[in-house]
Amino acid sequence: IKVEEKLYQNRYIVDENRPHIQIKNPELCATECGDQACTFCCPANCYNKEEGGGVSLVTDGCLECGTCRVICQDQDNVSWNYPRGGYGISYKFG
């Protein structure tokens, strides 16, 4: 079974207008962050490079793995919390 097929087994309840992860200062992504590791380390592809050098974040489908929180420690530009109770990812296989 492919990773994409496994991810499709998960269920996600979006907390509308209350993203649990936010980029603190989007300008910093474009000007201070060289490799923008979040755009290739996030297993759910929540981060994407934008035209103009910035990074966009859509937390729908976030696996709550914490990778972006760790790889952004040098820049400290990610505000990371778990979703409120009842929202976020549900893993079919635990």
**Binding to ligand SF4 (CB under 6 A): which residues in 65-94?**
65-68
Other C-beta atoms closer than 10 Å to the C-beta of 79 total: 13
CB of residue 31 to ligand SF4, shortest distance in Å = 22
Out of 23, 55, 62, 72, the only residue in the binding site for ligand SF4 (CB under 6 A) is 62
3-state secondary structure of 56: strand
Contact pattern from residue 14 through residue 43 relative to ligand SF4, giving x for each residue in contact according to CB under 6 A and a dash for the rest: -------x--------------------xx
Residue 43 pairs with which residues in a beta bridge? none
Catalog residues that contact ligand SF4 under the rule CB under 6 A.
Answer: 21, 42-44, 46, 62-68
